[in-house]
C-alpha cells in the first residue's frame, strides 16, 4: 500500500520535473509568406524604461513603413518580437537565447546599455545577425563578431567634432565639467580636457555625480564658486539631465551651458523648461534633416505614438531600415555572411543621412550640430 | 576645513559654507518627512514597510496630474496629493497588512515588498515610463537670504514640513487618537485590553504615515523629476534616517534627517559627490557602533 | 528514512539527465541560472530558515563573491578553478564583520541593519570606479575551467553539471548540518533564545557562525555566476537583487532544503513564462508573489507537505501526527 503511494508520488515528481523542462513551446503557424522576425530586446522596466520605449517605437514606426511598401524579399513583412531586458546583462542574455532558440528570429536588435550589449554579443557570436544600438563601449565593436554592427557613434568620434565647434564658435574663456561617474563620463572628461585645453580654454574643474543622484545643487554650487565661463553637462539619463539644467539656472549661474553630444531629445527639452534655450549640442538626428526617409519616419511615428520622435528612436529605426535593405539586396534573410558583406560593402542612404560601416561593424555616421531654439531642436550649419 | 587667512577669502568661504548648509537643510527636511512616516509605522504597527517610498512617488504623481490635467494651483495640489496618498495607504493596509497581522514578521515584510513591486510597475503602466516635471511656480524662482541663494521651493519645503511636523506632534501628544497611538506602540496587548480598537489605530496611523510620504513627494518632487522608480531612492533614504535616529522614534527621525541632509551637502560640497552618497552609510556605521539601537531608539536585544 | 533516500536519489538522477532531455540551448541556459540561484537561495535559507533572522543584505555577499572572483581572474591571473574558493574566503570575512556588528539586534532592526550594510557594500562597489569599474561592470570574465580537462564551460549543458555538483554539495551540507549538533543549536536559538542560553548555547556565536557560513556560500555561488555570465554589474547587489533572493526563499518555503530550490525554480520560470504577458510582466509577478505570501505563508513546499500529511493520516487511519 505504502510503496504504491510512494511510487505514485515519485512518478508525479519526475513528470513535473520533465514537464517543466520541456515547458511551453510556440505553435508553428503555416503562412503563405513567412515574416522576417526581428527581435527587439529593449529595457521596458527599470531605470532605462523610457529610453527603451522610445527605441521600440522608433523600430515599430520604421517596420510599418517598410511593410506598407510591401515588405522585402518578395512580400515578406517585418515582424518585431519584443523582449524586456530590464537593462540588466542577465536578462539580456536570456532574452537573446529565447529569441534565437524558441522564437527562431532572423535578426536581433538590442544593446541599449553597454553592459547588456557586451554579453549579448557573446550569445549571438557568429550565429546571428546582431545590431547594437546606443551602447558606446569600445569593446562592442573591438571584440565584436562578423555579424555584429553598432549604429551609434562612439563618444570619441563625437568629441572630435564637437570640441572643434566649441573652440571656434562658442569660444568660452574657461569651462567646468559636471559628468557622470562611469566609463562614459570619464572618457568625456579626458577627451574634452585634452581637446579644449589645446585651443586655449582653461579647464577650471570637474565634478562627478552618481547614476542614482536626484539632486545636484551641492555639486553645482561648488562648480559655480569656481566661476567658469561655461559649464559642460555630460548626462545620458534624461531625468538627471533635465534636473541638472534646471538646477544650474537655480544656483544663479549666468554663464553658458554646453550640453554633451548625443543626448539631446524632445523630452529633455520639455522637462528642462527654458533652461535649455539656445543651448548647443551634437547629435546623429535632428527633426529638420530634410531627407525623405526621415520625414516619412517622423510622420509615421507621430501617427502611431504619443511621444515625440527622438534620437534614440532613430537608432532603432535605422537598424530596422538597414537590416531590411541589406537582406533584400543580399536576396536572403539567413545567409548572414552575404548580409554582412552587403552591409559593409556600400554607402547607405538612411533616415540619418548617408552612412557606411567599417570592417569592425562600426557605423560611420553624420554628426549634426544642433541648437535648441524656441523649444525645438534645430540643425545648425 | 582650513579657513583662508585673508578676510575677503574668508568671507567667500563662509558664503559657500552657508549656501551648502542651506542646501543640506532643505534636503534634510524632505528626508525627515519620509522618515517620520516610516518610523511611525514601525513604532505602532511593528511593520517595516518597503513600499513606503512608493507613496512618496504617488504623492509626486498626484501633484503632477492635479496641476497638469486639472489646472489646480500647486499648493492646493500638494494638499490633495497628500490626502490621496493617505487614502491609498488605507486601501493598502486593508489588503496587504491587515490580513497578515497574526503572521510572522517576514511574511509582512514580503507583503510590503510585493506591494512595492505592484505600485512601482503599476505606476509605470498607468502613468508611463517617461519622467515628469511638476510645475510649481516656486521651483525656479530664487530668493536671496543675505548672501545665500535658495529657490523658493526649498524654502517652501522647510516651512510646510515644519508645519506638518508640528501638526504630527500636536496630534500624537494632545489628541485622544494620538494617545491611543502611543499606547498601541508601547504595549499592543495592553492597549487592546483597555478597550482600544487596535485595528482602527493601525489604520489611521498608516494613513498618516502615507500622507506624510505623499506630502514629501509633492514638495520635493518639483526640485527634480518624477519617475516610477523614484520610490526606491526614497525608501532607502528613509531607512538610512530611521536607522540613524532609532526605529520608532520621531525625534530621532527629525534629527537624523537633518543630520543626513547637512552631512551629505557638506561632504558633497567639500569632498566629492561620490562621498556624499556614501556619507549616509558611514553615519549609520558610526552611530550604530556608538549606540546599536540608533540615537533615540529603544534597545531591543531580544525577539519581539 | 529509506523512502526519502530513494526519492532523493531518483530526483538526483532526473536532474542529472535533464540537460539531455532538454534539447534547446535556451532551456539549458535557464537550468544553469536556476542551479546558481538554488545555491544562492539555500545560503540565505541558513539565515532566514535555520537562524530565523531576515537578512536584507545577502545580495551583497553574492555580488562581492562575483566581483572577487572576477577581479582576481581578470586582473591578477588567478586560475579560475580557485575563484569560488577565494570568493568564499573574502565574503566569509566580510560576513564576519557585518554579522558581528548586526547580530546583536534581532527582528526588524536586524533586517534594516543588514539592508544598510548591504547598501554600503553596494555603494562601494558602484562608486569605487578605479577598482571595480563601477556601473560599467567587469567584462570578459573567463569561463569556468578545470585543470587538465578541456571542457568548454561556456556551453550551458556543461556548466550545468558544475552547478549541479554545487547544488548537491550545498543541499547535502545543509542536511548534514541540521542533523548535527550545530543544526540543533540553530533551531534552539531560533525557537527559544532564553532557553537555549540557559542550556549553555552561546547565542551570538551560534548566529555568527551560521551567518558567516551563509555569506561564504553566497560568495561561492556568485563566483560561479560571474564565470558563467562573463559580465557582472553592481545591479546584482542592488535592491532588485535583494528582493529576488528573499522572494525565492520565502515563496519556496524557508527552513527546508527543497523549499529554496523550488523557490529558485519558480522565480526563474515565472519570470520567463510571464514574458508572454508583455508590459504586464512585472505587475503580474508582483501580484502573484503577494498572493502567494498572503495565502501560503509557509511557502509552496507547504502544499506538498499538507498533501503528504493528509496521505499519511489517511493511511494510518488514526489521529496521531507524525513529524514531517
pLDDT digits (tens, 9 = 90+) for C277-308: 777 888 888 888 888 888 887 888 888 878 87
C-alpha cell at B237: 533614504
- Cα–Cα distance, C285 to C273 (Å, whole number): 10
State chain B's mean pLDDT as an integer: 86
**CA C223 – CA C141 distance, rounded (Å):** 10
How many other C-beta atoms lie within 10 A of the C-beta of residue C199?
A: 10
Distances (CA, A) of A253 to A249, A268, B26: 6, 20, 20
Tell me the C-alpha distance between B135 and B65, whole Å.
Answer: 10
Nearest CA among C63, C92, C94, C69 for reference residue C241: C63
Residue of A nearest to B30 (CA): A215
Average pLDDT estimate for C220-231: 92
pLDDT, tens digit, for every residue of A259-294? Answer: 988 889 999 999 998 899 999 999 999 998 889 999
Distance from CA of B259 to the nearest CA of C (A): 17
- Name the neighbours of C, counting chains with at least 3 Cβ pairs within 8 A: A, B
Stronger pLDDT, C28 or A26, i.e. the higher one: C28
Structure confidence at residue A329 as a pLDDT band (50, 70, 90)? very high
Using the predicted structure, report yes or no on whether residue A354 has a pLDDT greater than 90: yes
- Which segment, A37-46, A57-66, A187-196, C223-232, is predicted with the most confidence on average? A57-66
Give the one of A5, A23, A44 whose C-beta lies nearest to C279's C-beta.
A44
pLDDT of residue C129: 79
Judge: A45–B230 Cβ closer than 8 Å, yes or no.
no
Can you give the pLDDT at residue B4? 40
Across the interface, do C54 and B106 touch by the CB < 8 Å criterion? Answer: yes
What's the whole-number mean pLDDT along residues A142-147? 92
- Interface contact flag, B113 C54, Cβ < 8 Å: no
How large a percentage of chain B has pLDDT more than 70? 94
Q: Decide if pLDDT at C319 tops 80.
A: no
pLDDT in tens, A228-265: 999 999 988 888 999 999 999 888 888 999 998 888 99
Task: Check pLDDT > 60 for residue A337.
Answer: yes
According to the model, what pLDDT value does residue C193 have?
81
Domain total for chain C?
Answer: 1
Please enumerate in sequence order all residues whose Cβ is within 8 A of that of C287, keeping only pairs 6 or more positions apart, or say none. Answer: B114, B118
The angle formed by the CA atoms of residues B134, B136 and B140, to the nearest 5 degrees, is 105
Binding-face residues of A in 158-177 toward C, CB within 8 A: none
Give the DSSP H/E element, type plus range, for residue A29: none
Output DSSP code: residue A178: E
Q: How far apart are CA C97 and CA C192, in angstroms?
A: 25
Burial of C305 (0-12, 13-18, 19+ CB in 10 A): middle
Does the residue B134 lie in any domain?
yes
- Cβ of C283 within 8 Å of Cβ of B118? The answer is yes
Q: What are A37's strand-pairing partners?
A: A79
- Structural contact between residues B257 and B31, judged by C-beta atoms closer than 8 angstroms: yes
Residues of C in contact with A122 (CB under 8 A): 154, 230
Strand order from edge to edge, sheet including A353-357? A348-350, A353-357, A363-364
The whole model's pTM is what?
A: 0.84
Nearest-angstrom CA–CA distance, A309 and A167: 30
Q: Pick the residue of C116, C132, C235 with the most B CBs within 10 A to test the interface with B by mutation.
A: C116
- List Cα–Cα distances, A106 to A102, A151, C203, in angstroms: 12, 18, 60
Phi and psi at residue A106, to the nearest 5°: -100, -20
Average pLDDT on A321-327 reads 95
Q: How far apart are CA C212 and CA C196, in angstroms?
A: 20
| A-chain residue closest to B148, CA distance | A251
Does the pLDDT at position B32 exceed 50?
A: yes
Q: What SS3 state is found at B22? A: helix
Please, are residues B272 and A179 in contact by the beta-carbon 8 Å criterion? no
The pLDDT of residue C279 = 77
Q: Considering only CB atoms, which chain A residues are within 8 Å of B27? A: 215, 217
Residue A344 pLDDT > 90: yes
pLDDT band at B3 (very low <50, low <70, confident <90, very high): very low
**Which set of grid coordinates corresponds to residue B257?**
534627517
Please provide the size of chain A in residues: 381
pLDDT the model gives residue A5: 54
Angle at the Cα of A371 from the Cα atoms of A369 and A374, rounded to 5 degrees: 155
Contacts of B122 in chain C (CB under 8 A): 283, 286
| Element of type H or E holding A376 | strand A376-380
Q: What is the pLDDT of residues B65-78, one digit of tens each?
A: 999 999 999 999 99
Q: If 0-12 CB within 10 Å is exposed, 13-18 middle and 19+ buried, where does residue B117 land?
A: buried
Task: Give the residue with greater pLDDT, C138 vs B90.
Answer: B90
User: If you measure CA to CA, which chain A residue comes closest to C283?
Assistant: A45
B221 touches chain A (CB under 8 A): no
Residue C321 has pLDDT above 60, yes or no: no
Contact residues, chain A, for B276 at CB < 8 Å:
218
Burial class (CB in 10 A: 0-12, 13-18, 19+), C136: buried
- Position A313 pLDDT exceeds 90: yes
Q: Is C109 within 8 Å of B110 when comparing Cβ atoms?
A: no
Q: What is the pLDDT of residue B70?
A: 92
The three grid cell numbers given for residue A277, joined into one nine-digit string? 534655450
Hey, is B258 helix, strand or coil? helix
Q: Residue A29 above 50 pLDDT?
A: no
ipTM exceeding cut-off 0.85 for this assembly: no
CA B211 to mean position of chain CA atoms: 10
Which residues, numbered 147 to 166 in chain C, qualify as contacts with chain A under a Cβ-Cβ cut-off of 8 Å?
154
From C18, C126, C235, residue closest to A88, measured CB to CB: C235
Q: Is the pLDDT of residue B134 over 70?
A: yes
Main-chain phi, psi angles of C253, to 5 degrees: 130, 105
pLDDT at C219 over 90: yes
Do A144 and A164 form a contact (C-beta atoms < 8 A)? no
Sorting pLDDT into bands at 50, 70 and 90, what band is A11? low
Average pLDDT (A184-213) is 89
Whole-number percent of chain A with pLDDT over 70: 92
Mean pLDDT of A110-136: 91
Ramachandran quadrant class, C317 (left: phi over 0; alpha: psi -120 to 50; beta: rest): left
Are C90 and C218 in contact, with CB atoms under 8 Å apart? no
Task: Indicate yes or no: CB of A94 within 8 angstroms of CB of C273.
Answer: no
Instruction: Report how far residue B240's alpha carbon sits from residue B236's, in angstroms, rounded to the nearest whole number.
Output: 6
Residue A181 has its nearest CB partner, among C24, C129, C279, at C129
CA separation, residue A348 to residues A141, A150, A323, A325 (Å): 19, 15, 11, 9
CATH architecture of A156-283: 3-Layer(aba) Sandwich (3.40)
Q: What residues form DSSP beta bridges with B92?
A: none
Q: Which residue has the higher pLDDT, A6 or B289?
A: B289
Give me the pLDDT at residue B146, please.
75
- Tell me, yes or no, if A27 comes closer than 8 A to chain C by beta carbon: no
* Confidence tier at B7 by pLDDT (50, 70, 90): very low
Q: What is the average per-residue pLDDT within A201-226?
A: 88
How far is Cα A209 from Cα B276, in angstroms, rounded to an integer? 10
- pLDDT of amino acid A8: 53
CB nearest C108 (choices: B48, B118, B284): B48
Residues of B in contact with A221 (CB under 8 A): 16, 19-20, 23, 269
In a domain, C266, yes or no: no
The total number of structural domains in chain B stands at: 1
| CB-CB neighbors (< 8 A) of C120 in chain B | 278, 281-282, 284-285
User: 199-238 in B: which are within 8 Å (CB) of C?
Assistant: 232, 236
* Host domain of residue B194: 19-228
Asked if residue A27 has pLDDT above 80, the reply is no
Q: Does C173 touch chain A (CB under 8 A)?
A: no
Q: Which chains touch B (3 or more CB pairs under 8 A)?
A: A, C
For residue A152, the model assigns a pLDDT of 94
Contacts with B12 from chain A: Cβ below 8 Å:
225
Cell numbers of A15, please? 513528470
The model's pLDDT over A68-102, given as tens digits with 9 standing for 90+, comes to: 999 999 899 999 999 999 888 888 988 999 999 88
Q: Does the beta-carbon distance from B130 to A222 stay under 8 Å? A: no
CA distance C197 to C175: 24
Structural domain boundaries in chain A: 36-153+289-366, 156-283
Residues of C in contact with A18 (CB under 8 A): 14, 21
Helices B250-270 & B273-290 angle (0-180, nearest 10): 140
Q: What pLDDT score was predicted for residue B189?
A: 87
The pLDDT of residue B6 is 41
Neighboring chain B residues of A267 at a CB cutoff of 8 Å: 130-131
**What percent of chain B stands above pLDDT 90?**
48
Q: Is B288 on the interface with C (CB under 8 A)?
A: yes
Residue C117: domain span = 22-241
Shortest distance between the Cα of C294 and any Cα of chain B, in A, equals: 7
Worst-scoring range by mean pLDDT, A21-25, A148-152, B136-140, C295-299?
Answer: A21-25
Q: For C247-257, what is each residue's pLDDT tens digit? A: 899 888 888 88
Q: Is A118 within 8 Å of chain C by CB?
A: yes
What was the pLDDT predicted at B302?
35
The predicted structure's pLDDT at residue B11:
56
Fold match between domain A36-153+289-366 and domain A156-283? yes
B249-301 per-position pLDDT tens digit: 899 999 999 999 999 998 888 887 777 777 888 888 788 778 877 788 765 44
Q: Looking at the DSSP assignment, which residues form a beta bridge with residue B150?
A: B143
pLDDT for residue A19 is more than 90? no
Burial B192-222 (b: 16+ CB within 10 A, else e): eeeebebeebbbbbbbbbbbbbbbbbbbbbb
Question: Could you tell me how far CA A220 lies from the centroid of its own chain?
Answer: 28
- CB atoms A242 and B121 under 8 Å: no
For A36-153+289-366, give the CATH class: alpha beta
Q: How close is the nearest chain B Cα to the Cα of C291, in Å?
A: 9
Residue B187 C-alpha cell reads as: 504595549
| Chain A residue with minimum CA distance to C240 | A46
Chain C, window 231-250: residues with a beta carbon less than 8 angstroms from a chain A beta carbon: 231-233, 235-236, 240
Per-window interface: A 190-249 vs C, CB < 8 A: 210-211
Nearest to A239 among B12, B225, B265 (CB): B225
CB pairs under 8 A between B and C: 120
DSSP string, A201-229: -EEEEEEEE-TT----HHHHHHHHHT--S
User: Which A residues 35-94 touch C at CB under 8 Å?
Assistant: 44-46, 82-84, 87-90, 93-94
C-alpha–C-alpha distance, residues A145 and A147, integer Å: 6
Q: In Å, how far is C251's CA from the nearest CA of chain A?
A: 18
pLDDT for residue C170 is more than 90: yes
Rounded to whole angstroms, the Cα distance separating B190 from B213 reads 29
Q: Which residues of A touch B140 (CB under 8 A)?
A: 246, 249-250, 273
Lowest mean pLDDT among B114-118, B191-195, B196-200, C106-110: C106-110
Instruction: Kindly identify which residue of chain C lies nearest to residue B129, measuring between CA atoms.
Output: C279
Cβ pair C10, C191 in contact under 8 A: no
- pLDDT reported for residue A129: 95
Please say if the pLDDT value at position C73 is more than 70. yes
B12, B129, B131 ranked by CB distance to A271: nearest? B131
**Residue-averaged pLDDT of chain A:** 88
Nearest residue on chain A to C307, alpha-carbon basis: A9
Side-chain-facing half-sphere of A332: CA atoms under 13 Å: 10
Q: Do residue B113 and residue C246 have CB atoms under 8 angstroms apart?
A: yes
User: pLDDT digit string (tens) for B144-177?
Assistant: 777 778 888 888 999 999 999 999 999 999 999 9
Amino acid at each position: 500500500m505504502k510503496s504504491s503511494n510512494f511510487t505514485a508520488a515519485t512518478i508525479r515528481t519526475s513528470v513535473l520535473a520533465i514537464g517543466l523542462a520541456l515547458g511551453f513551446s510556440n505553435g508553428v503557424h503555416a503562412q503563405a509568406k513567412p515574416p522576417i522576425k526581428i527581435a527587439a530586446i529593449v529595457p521596458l522596466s527599470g531605470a532605462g524604461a523610457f529610453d527603451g520605449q522610445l527605441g521600440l517605437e522608433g523600430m515599430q514606426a520604421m517596420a510599418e513603413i517598410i511593410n506598407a511598401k510591401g515588405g522585402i524579399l518578395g512580400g515578406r513583412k517585418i515582424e518585431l518580437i519584443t523582449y524586456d531586458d530590464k537593462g540588466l546583462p542577465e536578462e539580456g542574455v536570456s532574452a537573446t537565447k529565447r529569441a534565437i532558440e524558441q522564437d527562431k528570429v532572423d535578426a536581433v536588435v538590442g544593446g541599449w546599455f553597454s553592459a547588456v550589449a557586451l554579453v549579448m554579443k557573446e550569445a549571438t557570436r557568429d550565429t546571428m545577425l546582431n545590431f547594437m544600438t546606443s551602447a558606446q563601449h569600445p569593446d562592442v565593436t573591438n571584440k565584436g563578431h562578423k555579424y555584429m554592427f553598432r549604429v551609434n557613434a562612439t563618444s570619441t568620434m563625437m568629441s572630435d567634432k564637437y570640441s572643434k565647434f566649441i573652440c571656434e564658435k562658442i569660444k568660452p574663456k574657461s569651462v567646468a565639467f559636471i559628468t557622470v561617474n562611469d566609463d562614459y563620463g570619464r572618457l568625456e572628461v579626458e577627451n574634452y580636457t585634452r581637446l579644449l585645453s589645446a585651443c586655449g580654454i582653461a579647464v577650471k574643474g570637474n565634478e562627478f555625480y552618481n547614476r542614482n543622484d536626484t539632486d545636484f545643487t551641492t555639486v553645482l554650487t561648488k562648480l559655480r564658486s569656481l566661476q567658469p565661463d561655461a559649464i559642460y553637462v555630460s548626462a545620458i539619463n534624461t531625468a538627471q539631465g533635465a534636473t541638472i539644467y534646471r538646477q544650474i539656472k537655480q544656483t544663479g549661474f549666468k554663464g553658458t551651458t554646453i550640453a554633451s553630444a548625443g543626448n539631446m531629445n524632445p523630452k529633455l527639452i520639455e522637462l528642462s523648461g527654458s533652461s535649455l534655450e539656445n543651448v548647443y549640442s551634437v547629435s546623429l538626428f535632428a527633426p529638420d534633416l530634410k531627407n525623405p526617409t526621415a520625414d516619412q519616419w517622423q510622420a509615421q511615428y507621430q501617427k502611431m505614438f504619443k511621444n515625440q520622435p527622438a534620437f534614440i528612436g532613430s537608432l532603432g529605426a535605422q537598424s530596422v531600415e538597414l537590416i531590411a535593405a541589406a537582406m533584400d539586396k543580399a536576396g536572403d534573410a539567413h545567409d548572414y555572411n552575404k548580409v554582412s558583406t552587403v552591409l559593409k560593402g556600400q554607402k547607405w542612404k538612411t533616415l540619418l543621412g548617408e552612412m557606411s560601416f567599417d570592417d569592425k561593424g562600426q557605423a560611420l555616421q553624420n554628426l549634426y550640430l544642433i541648437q535648441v531654439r524656441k523649444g525645438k531642436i534645430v540643425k545648425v550649419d | 576645513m582650513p579657513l583662508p587667512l585673508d578676510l575677503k577669502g574668508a568671507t567667500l568661504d563662509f558664503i559657500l559654507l552657508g549656501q551648502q548648509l542651506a542646501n543640506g537643510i532643505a534636503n534634510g527636511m524632505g528626508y525627515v518627512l519620509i522618515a517620520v512616516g516610516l518610523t511611525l509605522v514601525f513604532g505602532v504597527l511593528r511593520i517595516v514597510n518597503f513600499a513606503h517610498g512608493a507613496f512618496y512617488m504617488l504623492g509626486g504623481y498626484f501633484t503632477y496630474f492635479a496641476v497638469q490635467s486639472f489646472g489646480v494651483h500647486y499648493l492646493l495640489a500638494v494638499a490633495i496629493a497628500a490626502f490621496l496618498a493617505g487614502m491609498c495607504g488605507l486601501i493598502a493596509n486593508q489588503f496587504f497588512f491587515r490580513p497578515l497581522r497574526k503572521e510572522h514578521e517576514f511574511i509582512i515584510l514580503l507583503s510590503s515588498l510585493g506591494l512595492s513591486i505592484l505600485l512601482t510597475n503599476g505606476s509605470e503602466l498607468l502613468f508611463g515610463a517617461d519622467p515628469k516635471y511638476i510645475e510649481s511656480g516656486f521651483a525656479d524662482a530664487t530668493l536671496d537670504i543675505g548672501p545665500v541663494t535658495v529657490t523658493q521651493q526649498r524654502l517652501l519645503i522647510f516651512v510646510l514640513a515644519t508645519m506638518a511636523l508640528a501638526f504630527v506632534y500636536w496630534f500624537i501628544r494632545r489628541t485622544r487618537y494620538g494617545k491611543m497611538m502611543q499606547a498601541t506602540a508601547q504595549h499592543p496587548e495592553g492597549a487592546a485590553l483597555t478597550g482600544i480598537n487596535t485595528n482602527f489605530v493601525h489604520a489611521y496611523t498608516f494613513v498618516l504615515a502615507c500622507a506624510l510620504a505623499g506630502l514629501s513627494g509633492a514638495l520635493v518632487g518639483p526640485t527634480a523629476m518624477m519617475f516610477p522608480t523614484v520610490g526606491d531612492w526614497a525608501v532607502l533614504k528613509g531607512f538610512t534616517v530611521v536607522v540613524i535616529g532609532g526605529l520608532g522614534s520621531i525625534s530621532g527621525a527629525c534629527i537624523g534627517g537633518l543630520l543626513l541632509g547637512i552631512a551629505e551637502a557638506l561632504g558633497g560640497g567639500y569632498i566629492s559627490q561620490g562621498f556624499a552618497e556614501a556619507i549616509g552609510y558611514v553615519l549609520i556605521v558610526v552611530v550604530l557602533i556608538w549606540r546599536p539601537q540608533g540615537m533615540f531608539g529603544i534597545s531591543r536585544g531580544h525577539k519581539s | 528514512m529509506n523512502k526519502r533516500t530513494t526519492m532523493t536519489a531518483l530526483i538526483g538522477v532526473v536532474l542529472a539527465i535533464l540537460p539531455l532531455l532538454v534539447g534547446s540551448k535556451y532551456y539549458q541556459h535557464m537550468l544553469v541560472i536556476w542551479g546558481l540561484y538554488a545555491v544562492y537561495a539555500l545560503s540565505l535559507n541558513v539565515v532566514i530558515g535555520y537562524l530565523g533572522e531576515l537578512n536584507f543584505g545577502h545580495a551583497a555577499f553574492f555580488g562581492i563573491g562575483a566581483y572577487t572572483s572576477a577581479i582576481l581572474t581578470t586582473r591578477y591571473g588567478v586560475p579560475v578553478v580557485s575563484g569560488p574558493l577565494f570568493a568564499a574566503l573574502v565574503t566569509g570575512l566580510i560576513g564576519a564583520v557585518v554579522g558581528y556588528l548586526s547580530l546583536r539586534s534581532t527582528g526588524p532592526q536586524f533586517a534594516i541593519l543588514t539592508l544598510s550594510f548591504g547598501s554600503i557594500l553596494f555603494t562601494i562597489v558602484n562608486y569605487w570606479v578605479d577598482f571595480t569599474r563601477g556601473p560599467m561592470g567587469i567584462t570578459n570574465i573567463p569561463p569556468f575551467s578545470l585543470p587538465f580537462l578541456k571542457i568548454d564551460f561556456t556551453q550551458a549543458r556543461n556548466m550545468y553539471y558544475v552547478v549541479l555538483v554545487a547544488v548537491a554539495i550545498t543541499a547535502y551540507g545543509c542536511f548534514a548540518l541540521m542533523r548535527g549538533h550545530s543544526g540543533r543549536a540553530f533551531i534552539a536559538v531560533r525557537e527559544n533564545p532564553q532557553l537555549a542560553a540557559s542550556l549553555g548555547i552561546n547565542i551570538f556565536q551560534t548566529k555568527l557562525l551560521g551567518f558567516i557560513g551563509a555569506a561564504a556560500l553566497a560568495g561561492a555561488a556568485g563566483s560561479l555566476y560571474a564565470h558563467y555570465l562573463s559580465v557582472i554589474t553592481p545591479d546584482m547587489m542592488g535592491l532588485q537583487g535583494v528582493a529576488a533572493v528573499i522572494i525565492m526563499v520565502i515563496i519556496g518555503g524557508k527552513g527546508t532544503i527543497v523549499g529554496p530550490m523550488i523557490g529558485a525554480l519558480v522565480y526563474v520560470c515565472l519570470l520567463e513564462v510571464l514574458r508572454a504577458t508583455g508590459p504586464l510582466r512585472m505587475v503580474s509577478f508582483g501580484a502573484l508573489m503577494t498572493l502567494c505570501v498572503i495565502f501560503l505563508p509557509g511557502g509552496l513546499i507547504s502544499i506538498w507537505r499538507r498533501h503528504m500529511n493528509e496521505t499519511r493520516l489517511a493511511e494510518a487511519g488514526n489521529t496521531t501526527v507524525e513529524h514531517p
